[in-house]
Amino acid sequence: MGLPGISYNPETPPSFELDSNRYAMLKLLYTLVSSDDFSTTMMVDNQHIMLMLFLQVLNSTAPHPYFLPSDWCTPTMASNFTQLAFQDQAWTLSSNYMTLQFVYQFLQLGEPIANQIVSCFVSGHLLDYVVKLRGDEILWKWELGGILGVFVSGVRRSDAAVTYLFELDNIFAVCAMFIIWQDIPHLHLLAQCCPDHPVWTECLQKLDTIPEHFELSLSLYDREEILSTVSAFRLLFEGGGPLMLHSRPTVSSLWRRLWQRHRNIGKELTGASKV
């Protein structure tokens, strides 16, 4: 169930001005997904594609057309859309690519859909998956940064979500992922989320253990770079300057390190087979 020509980039979603073509497309898609026939006469797979296309076009268009005011998504529509998106499957942060796309696009909409997704984080204990990530697997899951970032940005809508996020294992894991991925914007966002919460004290003390705790390979991750980011992050809580990095690795640079590592392992195995 793919959508040709539409990419998924959780950190920098595209933005296009509303023109006559996008207006017509949004008008047609909204008419379809809001109709009574949408969930009764259309096959489920086609409903998924139609809803996903609508959300992606809507989330990448600014400003929104007049027929889509900020409260266009009623509680009933939110409930129907969420049920459709996760029909017949229990979704987690380890779910397939398309399911995570649904989660991310829904989270962009704010209330009331985002509230239901945030509730799913809590009721489904979804951060358990992040807590258990280790080693090279962390790099392969960098795309979760966008979903975690939107969850953090909306967490204060719910006391239950704040309580869940600030369980020590959870806040430590989320913070560690942003540090490992060198995701500075989301680290800033996290630091602004309940900065006076008492759990921050213990979390900040544990950050030095990130390389060992998450079993990071020194051939893929730079320990000093991680600890430097930890020190800069702590400064945010001490009233220091902005969080900055002298050399921020991009996702592509991390991929190159991973690929080089696997090449080296392959050479070692090949050499051993010749002995």
Residue 259 lies in a domain: no
In the structure encoding, which two tokens stand for residue 61, read together?
Answer: 């268009």
Does residue 18 lie in a domain region? Answer: yes
Q: Is residue 104 part of a domain?
A: yes
Q: Let me know whether 157 and 30 are in one domain.
A: no
Which range in 83-87, 155-159, 188-192 is most confidently predicted, on average pLDDT? 188-192
Same domain assignment for residues 140 and 170: yes
Distances (CA, A) of 47 to 17, 59, 66: 26, 18, 24
Residues 108 and 224 in one domain: yes
The rounded mean pLDDT for the chain is 76
Burial 19-45 (b: 16+ CB within 10 A, else e): eeebeebbeebbebbeeeebeeebeee
Query: Which two structure tokens, joined as six digits, stand for 229?
Result: 């980011």
49 and 122 in a common domain: no
| Average pLDDT of span 199-207 | 94
- Say what the pLDDT of residue 240 is: 52
217 and 144 inside one domain: yes
Q: Give the residue-averaged pLDDT of 108-120.
A: 71
pLDDT digits (tens, 9 = 90+) for 21-62: 899 999 999 998 888 777 777 787 788 788 888 888 888 888
At residue 186, does pLDDT exceed 80?
Answer: yes
- Residues 149, 193, single domain; the answer is yes
Task: Tell whether 188 and 104 lie within a shared domain.
Answer: yes
CA-only gyration radius of the chain, Å? 21
**What does the pLDDT average to over 80-87?**
70
Question: With helix as H, strand as E and coil as C, how does the chain read?
Answer: CCCCCCCCCCCCCCCEECCHHHHHHHHHHHHHHCCCCHHHHCCHHHHHHHHHHHHHHHHCEECCCCCCCCCCCCHHHHHHHHHHHCCCCCCCCCCCHHHHHHHHHHHCCCCCHHHHHHHHHHHCCCHHHHHHCCCCHHHHCCCHHHHHHHHHHHHHHCHHHHHHHCCHHHHHHHHHHHHHCCCHHHHHHHHCCCCCCCHHHHHHHHHHHHHHHCCCCCCCCCHHHHHHHHHHHHHHHCCCCCCCCCCCCCHHHHHHHHHHHHHHHHHHHHHHHHC
Please indicate, yes or no, whether residues 135 and 188 belong to a single structural domain of this protein: yes
Band the pLDDT of 258: cuts 50, 70, 90: very low
Residues above pLDDT 70, as percent of the chain: 75
User: Do both 120 and 216 map to the same domain?
Assistant: yes
In a domain, 254, yes or no: no
Q: Is residue 265 over pLDDT 60?
A: no
Q: Which long-range contacts (CB under 8 A, 24 or more apart) does 231-240 make?
A: 233/175, 233/179, 233/187, 233/191, 233/204, 233/207, 234/204, 234/207, 236/188, 236/191, 237/191, 237/195, 237/200, 237/204
Domain count, the chain: 2
Rounded average pLDDT over 172-179: 94
Mean per-residue pLDDT, 74-97: 70
pLDDT of 111: 65
Q: Does 249 map to a domain?
A: no
Judge residue 56's burial from the number of C-beta atoms within 10 Å of its C-beta, 0-12 exposed, 13-18 middle, 19 or more buried: buried
Which tens digit of pLDDT belongs to each residue from 143-168? 788 888 888 887 877 889 899 999 99
Backbone dihedral region for residue 150 (phi beyond 0: left; psi -120 to 50: alpha; all else: beta): alpha
Same domain (yes/no): 56, 185: no
Within a domain: residue 68?
yes
User: Do both 21 and 108 map to the same domain?
Assistant: no
Q: Residue 180: CB partners within 8 Å, gap ≥ 6?
A: 138, 210, 214, 216, 221, 226
Look at residue 86 in the predicted model and tell me its pLDDT.
62
Which residues are CB-contacts of 173 (< 8 A; sequence separation ≥ 6)?
A: 127, 130, 131, 133
- pLDDT attached to residue 173: 96
272: in domain = no
Query: Which residues span the domain enclosing 44?
Result: 14-72
Task: Tell whether 110 and 205 lie within a shared domain.
Answer: yes
The verdict on residue 6 lying in a domain is: no
